[in-house]
Structure 1
Amino acid sequence: MKHKLLITFLLGFFSLFQREVSGQGTNARTDATQSFCGTTGGFNVIPAAGCAPLTVNVKNLVPRPESLTYAFRFDRSQNTPPNTSETTQDSTFTYQTPGTYTILQYGSANGTGFSQCKDVTVKETRGPRAEIIACTNGKVRLTIVSDDISKAYDAIEINWGDGAKETVNIKTTSTAYFDHTYAGARPAITLKGTYTDGQCATNTNVTTITANTPPPSLASIRIRSVELPADGNAKVIYEGMEGVETKLYIAKGNDDFIFTNQSGKTGGPQSASVPLLDPKLVYRFQLWSTDICGNIVKSPIVSSIAIKQGGLSLDEIIALEWENEPNTDRLMGYQLKRNGAVIFNTTDKRSYEDTDVKCGNTYQYEVVAIIENDVRSYSAPISLEPKTSAPGDITNATVTVKDENTIGTKVELSGEGLTSSYNLVVERALLGSGNYEVVSPANNQSLQWDDANVNTSQHSYCYRFQYENACKMKSPNFSTPVCSILLTTNSPDIVWNPDAPFISTIESYNLQQVDASGNVIDVILKGLSTSHTLDLASQSDFSYRVEAKSSDGNFTSLSNLLNFRSEAIILVPDAFTPNGDAYNERFEVKAYFIKTFSMSIFSRWGEVIFHSDNIAEGWDGNVKTGKASGGYYLYKIEATDASGQAVVRNGSFLLIR
């Protein structure tokens, strides 16, 4: 109860103290709020410094104290009283571990609280810790663990056990490990920490090391990436191991490995540069690491990669090829980059044709080989431009009359200089004038272009063509002109203009008969003739056009389409005389432009005495009983015209005997 009252009293005292110093400036107020330690108490600590474990005694110097209390592990920066579990009224305390400790004294005297703090220094006496690696050839490597124990000492004595000793200042030395070689069996190794003033010499513990640990695996020492830039200064990033000497070796192609004079003994990611290499060649890189026992461990091989322009040579296509030597680790694939962005991934191919390029632009390419375990190999970049060649003259073209106001043109392209974008220039002139003018729109990219500003029923037109590629390179000349053919009719003849549709020789004119769907059903060879006579008796529904080809077969002209559809014509005689004089012996009907035909002849009483479905078969004037008697007879003709419409004719005729 008294202890709790004392704490309450001290808190009030502490608050009053804060208020008193609050007017003394910022620094005074800050000091008051930073620590519960006061200056009104008084005690001695014996001893104030020593070796762990250290037992100290405190002697009070405050007269007639009440509730005298100590906290032997007080936080000097603490601005609140310690917990009761951290306090004692004992005057003796033992520190088991090293460090600097604060002893807080507080209590009351003459109705006034007091407090004071003093520090105790406890020095380290535990033995330093170390790790040792032993080799079969007698060599050992000792690594002192860098912890609070080893850092507490001014020096550490290493006794190798065979008479050899050495003292290490762990605070100043940069050596991470210490090597020693035994001629025979390895005795126990001991470590002991020391202080320059000789303190704790009899208290310090000794660490004895007898265990044999085999050399660590060097599998983690491996190449992470190989980069061969355009300047030929290769950059190799690899993972090193602390204390293990690692050398970088190189081989050109399948040659033997040679040392690059690049080495290190540092752990973690390392960088090595190999100058004066040819980025067009392929090199192999390998790490040779020597463990503490002298064994050489070689890392997996990683080769560089070289990219070059491929052998394919086409317009607006950049062909690429690359090569590298087989890697020890499994190759996962390749990434091809254009201007820094990946455009192609493959697991096994070593070539690519880039068609997404435009004439006049320069593109930068590089290849990345992706190898198992996240290893990369980067090629030097190369800059390439798409091929640019002058296009040749257009040598294949067709002109077709489509209707009264439209002529279709079509060209075929071949040769070099052809690009994905272009301008096909089309010029037109009246047949025979020679005054050509451009009729195609700007940047025309249609190889089949329709001219809808013509009058094909009145005129023939000539066209010529020129190709301009994306690099603004044009065909040297316009193509040979191709002219339209004007087909007209003068029944029963159809004729076409005699002017040749080409400058070159005409091979022939072909008259094409076309069905309702536009399919060619018959071709009549006309040679150089410019007319054709129709057989109206055998035809009723037909369409014609004329095709002309140049003698070299490269240019074609197709005329307008003439459509014929005649009405059915049925000619019936009004009499016939089957009297044997070889004149007008049969009742014969003539019919034109019909598809089907049926005729029946009746007696005056309505009896069918003759029937035929063959228009070429007439009635000879005979009946079953013999010759029919003279007089009038009736007929009925049923037919369909070219369009499928029914045609019926009824009438009478006279049989004269």
Structure 2
Amino acid sequence: MKNIVLFIIAFSAPFLLWSQGNFPSENGLFEVDYLKGCVGTTITVTPIAATGTYLACFDADLTDLTSSENQTCFNEQANKPVGKLEFTYTEPGIYNILVLNQLTGSQQFDSLTIKIFDPELPQLALSNCNGDIFFNLNPEVESFDIYNINFGDGTPPQNVSINNFPISHTYSDNSQSYTVQATGSFDASGFNNCSNTTYTNTIVPENLNETAATITSLDLISASTLEIAFNANENQFYFVEISQNNNTSYNSVRSLYGQSTGTLQLDNLDLINNFYCVRIVSESLCTGNDLLSNEVCSIQLTGDAQADGNLLEWNSGSFTTSTLYKNGFEIYTGNSPFLDTNVLCGQTDNYEIIATNSSGIEVRSLAVEIIAEASASQLPITQVSTRVLSSGELEIEWEVPQGLQPETYIVYKKQKESDNFREIATTDSTSFTDTSSDFTSGISFYSVSYSNNCSGRSPLVATAPNILLTANESENIIDFSWNSFTGYDSLLSHYLIRKYDRDLNLVDEWDIGLETFFSDDVANAGEQIYIYQVFAISENGLISSSNQVQFKIPPSFFVPSGFTPNGDALNEEIKVVGKFIEQVEFSIFNRWGTLIFRSNELDKGWDGFLPDREAPEGTYSYTIVVKDAAGEEYFKSGVFNLIR
């Protein structure tokens, strides 16, 4: 109830003759004209005894009649004109009127309580019970004493006391529509100055079947508030009930009316230390039985940091399935409890449960943060990849066990598999580049651990070598081999061999499973230079790569042993024939060693003519100088015959 300014009106007995109060106070010292009314009601106090001076407080404290609040109220009489003892109420509430009769040498107190309303529209529930329509009002939420019910079918309206509901009515045709009205009013003790007195609804009686409500979702808004969404029958009364933890007893906390769908928040809960189950109940006007909705419970998730991990517990018995998430990743599906041993001492982890109940409704818990207290790092790093970037650069990258967020990683290296690891670097990243070895001629081995805030280090498990690819060629067959990659523990999926041209455009690719050797036939190669590289692929997507091996096919070139420039259009020219030649210098000499022809073009040969005549038949010598795509120079010399 809001505080109001307290009016005090004082006057002597001769002015009492006009008062008309007829509802006496507790001790009969005064009367009032009304015991209730709506906002705007004026209450007049009429003293009964004709002697003494009367003072009235219209919002008094009855727990202590002589309280300072009441005394202040009475002392204000000096500032009030003499007149009626009356007050107009502008706020709804329950008010105590306290009257003081000041006599010579004594005082008399008396009081009376009134109610001021600001009513909502009447809430009329309607149910079709085997053809008869039942009308009901809820006295717990209604303000008025009497309701005039107009059934809308031409039959006389009925005045019904709030205490006499429910009532029934039979319509001649339940398939027709009728406009029903219920108008509330006070009995003789009230002042009927209210608005919002009439409920109006157009109904079709055969459609007024009772239904149970359905809860469609439950969400935790904060640590003290949950929200439900629901479907209901707008013509029924419903009550939201709640139980705490495993208590099977429900308490009614809210009423619902006039909504077919909506949301409702329940406040002042302790959702951290308790879980709550919610249901919606409607009492059938036809049978008197409860119509129960589905039950939906919140999740109470608790966490405790223990020496062997983080212990999570929740009310899994309220749900058919429960899934636990850690830092946004799913780590467990099943019932409570769960011990998360995948923790890092001193690390703060965020946990959350998403569970589904028997109605298929998904409920999410509040998040729980736990600072791990496990004394040592328990889970090792088992997935380490290596990538040769150049002859002197190797990038090592590793995968952190899910849920861990270490601040420091330690990188280890050894030159031989039988050696002990030695620490070579610390980093806050999940990758490191080693520049201390030649990765085209030897193999080094690497492992990674992490440290926690409790001075512990994870054990070394993964041993990840660089992949050293080697090749040998024989009769246009290139044989490749490489060392097995062991950085993925048991999760190595397969090896890939990729073949590139000299501009690193992919030419071909082979998936060779888990073999560590491969052969490529280059007899019919279309390029002189190829680059090969092997990749180790893990089942979880990590990729390691070897050094690149370049293979160059030597250029091939020759000059035919003879030609016949006789005009028959056959074998009329002699020239260099070859493959993988970028530049050529073809020179021809006569028997005395005199240069008689030179060409720098593969397609341009000698036609057997000297500048002024045909060259004679006989044997001629030649030299060839060629350069291939790699800029390497080759030389060849020989003889051929000119035949006419």
**TM-score where L is the length of structure 2:** 0.39
Select the structure of larger CA radius of gyration. 1
TM-score when scaled to structure 1?
0.38
